[in-house]
């Protein structure tokens, strides 16, 4: 099964009151490589007109964006109980 098929089986319970990832955009402005765009398996990060755009709603909670960010702009925490990703294998 390819990644796109696996992502279709994934369920998200989005917390509308509290994002579990906050990105400090002022730090992102100086980042030339933007590794978060390439490592995020859910495609939560992308650039538009040299501006980093981010959507936490489809986050798979892998934490790779926090690890590869060279400027420490990603503040990542697990979602509150009952919210976040729920993997379904079947």
Mean of the per-residue pLDDT values of the chain: 85
Into which CATH architecture does domain 19-80 fall?
2-Layer Sandwich (3.30)
For the segment 15-53, what is each residue's pLDDT rounded down to a tens digit?
A: 888 888 889 988 888 888 899 999 998 889 988 888 888
- H/E stretch holding 25 reads helix 25-28
Answer for the pair 29, 37: CB distance below 8 angstroms, yes or no: no
**Domain extents in the chain:** 19-80
pLDDT at 59 over 90: no
- pLDDT at residue 67 in the model: 94
Residue 33 DSSP code: S
Confidence of residue 89 (pLDDT cuts 50, 70, 90): low
């Amino acid at each position: 099964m390819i990644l796109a098929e696996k992502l279709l089986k994934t369920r998200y319970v989005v917390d509308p009151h509290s994002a579990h990832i906050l990105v400090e955009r002022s730090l992102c402005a100086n980042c030339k490589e933007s590794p978060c765009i390439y490592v995020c398996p859910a495609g939560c990060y992308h650039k538009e007109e040299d501006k980093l755009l981010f959507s936490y709603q489809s986050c798979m909670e892998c934490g790779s964006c926090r690890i590869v960010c060279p400027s420490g702009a990603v503040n990542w925490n697990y979602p509150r109980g009952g919210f976040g990703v729920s993997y379904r294998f079947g």
